[in-house]
């Protein structure tokens, strides 16, 4: 487990806001050197200025994590500047909703590109560096945290493309954990599964690339956007609290990181249905009024 942070290097994607920025703040407070990565230039620059003012050593780079070549270049620069990182937070993410058959190819490419391929590239680029550092130095310790979601453990309706991306991140990270355990005791992995936490993810369209344009939103997508914004904005757990849980998990060598443990009851119900061969359970069993509202809105045709 990684329990010493001062003088170590952290690579953080999605570092301009939300979980990424809060994790960067805590990493700086612990004396870590920071590699800040974000696709939104103004947010990245604000984060860089804030953390440099806090006396952190910062390398800030505007990178689209879905692009393999850009991530390769980032990895090469990090290795040249700092050597192998000790903490990699593959956190950049976007959200899109609507009935699953209504998502366009561009929607799928955008969401999977950031949420899944961004994690793939982070793992692909930085894990070999960390393993090489571990082999060269018995005292080296490293940890990788990938941001998934409770939507990676559940299948809430009207947000299928997002669910698919986050389920893939959970599977990727569980496999990464097992693969690392085969070859080293010096590098660990965790998966972050937040629920509704106030961040800017519900405004993800602000950073959608022009080569993956969005179509005119469907009724289900407009409804999903409104529900998502309401749920996210009303969240009581803060991004800063989640960031603190990330560091606690790293220090404890804990794999699963939850912002809302009470939501695990729904996960248990889903897994029991899988094991028992039952049909998927009602996702609105605990809040039937929400399900009734969504069904009425989608079936009204108004």
Please report the pLDDT score of residue 232 as a whole number. Answer: 75
Q: Residue 203: inside a domain, yes or no?
A: yes
**Averaged pLDDT, 255-276:** 95
Q: Residue 40: inside a domain, yes or no?
A: yes
Q: Residue 271: inside a domain, yes or no?
A: no
Residues 6+ apart with CB under 8 A from 75: 125, 126, 129
Other CB atoms within 10 Å distance of the CB of residue 4: 13
Q: Which residues pair with 37 in a beta bridge?
A: 13, 61
pLDDT > 80? residue 233: no
Q: Which residues pair with 147 in a beta bridge?
A: 192
% of the chain at pLDDT higher than 90: 80
Q: Residue 227: inside a domain, yes or no?
A: yes
Name the domain count of the chain.
Answer: 1
* Catalytic positions: 162
Q: How many residues does the chain have?
A: 302
List the one residue out of 213, 244, 172 whose CA is nearest residue 25: 244
Residue spans of alpha helices (H) in 184-218: none
Q: Residue 64: inside a domain, yes or no?
A: yes
Worst-scoring range by mean pLDDT, 54-58, 130-134, 183-187, 261-265?
261-265
Domain that holds residue 216: 9-262
Other CB atoms within 10 Å distance of the CB of residue 124: 14
Q: Residue 268: inside a domain, yes or no?
A: no
The CATH number of residue 42's host domain is 3.40.50.720
**Averaged pLDDT, 208-228:** 88
Name the pLDDT band for 301 (thresholds 50, 70, 90): low
Instruction: Return the SS3 of 152.
Output: helix
Q: Residue 234: inside a domain, yes or no?
A: yes
Q: Are 13 and 122 in contact (CB under 8 A)?
A: yes
pLDDT > 80? residue 231: no
295 or 199: which carries more pLDDT confidence?
A: 295
Name the pLDDT band for 201 (thresholds 50, 70, 90): confident
pLDDT > 80? residue 235: no
Q: Are 243 and 210 in contact (CB under 8 A)?
A: no
- Averaged pLDDT of the chain: 94
Q: Residue 292: inside a domain, yes or no?
A: no
**Averaged pLDDT, 22-39:** 98
Listed in order, strand segments (DSSP E) in the chain are 9-13, 33-38, 58-62, 87-90, 142-147, 187-193, 256-258
Residues 32 and 108: their CA atoms lie apart, in Å, by 35
Over residues 70-87, the pLDDT tens digits come to: 999 999 999 999 999 999
Residues 221 and 97: their CA atoms lie apart, in Å, by 5
């Amino acid at each position: 487990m990684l329990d010493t942070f001062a003088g170590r290097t952290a690579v953080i994607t999605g570092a301009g806001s939300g979980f990424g920025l809060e994790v960067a703040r805590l990493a700086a407070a612990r004396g870590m050197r920071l590699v800040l990565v974000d696709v939104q230039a103004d947010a990245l620059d604000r984060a860089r200025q804030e953390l440099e003012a806090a006396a952190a050593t910062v390398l800030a780079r505007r990178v689209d994590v879905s692009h393999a070549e850009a991530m390769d270049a980032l990895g090469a620069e990090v290795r040249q500047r700092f050597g192998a990182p000790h903490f990699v937070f593959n956190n950049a993410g976007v959200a899109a909703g609507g009935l699953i058959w209504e998502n366009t190819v561009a929607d799928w490419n955008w969401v999977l590109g950031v949420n899944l391929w961004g994690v793939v590239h982070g793992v692909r680029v930085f894990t070999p560096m960390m393993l090489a550092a571990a082999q060269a130095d018995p005292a080296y310790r490293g940890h990788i945290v990938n941001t998934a979601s409770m939507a990676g453990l559940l299948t809430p309706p009207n947000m299928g493309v997002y669910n698919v991306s986050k389920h893939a991140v959970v599977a990727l990270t569980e496999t990464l954990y097992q693969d690392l355990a085969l070859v080293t005791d010096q590098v660990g992995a965790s998966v972050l599964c937040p629920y509704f936490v106030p961040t800017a993810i519900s405004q993800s369209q602000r950073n959608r690339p022009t080569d993956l344009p969005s179509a005119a939103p469907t009724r289900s997508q407009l409804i999903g956007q409104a529900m998502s914004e309401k749920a996210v904005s009303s969240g009581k757990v803060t991004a800063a609290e989640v960031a603190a849980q990330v560091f606690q998990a790293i220090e404890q060598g804990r794999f699963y990181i939850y912002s809302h443990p009470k939501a695990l009851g729904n996960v248990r119900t889903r897994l029991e249905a899988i094991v028992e061969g039952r049909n998927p359970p009602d996702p609105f069993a605990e809040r039937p009024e929400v399900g009734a509202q969504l069904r009425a809105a989608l079936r009204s045709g108004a």
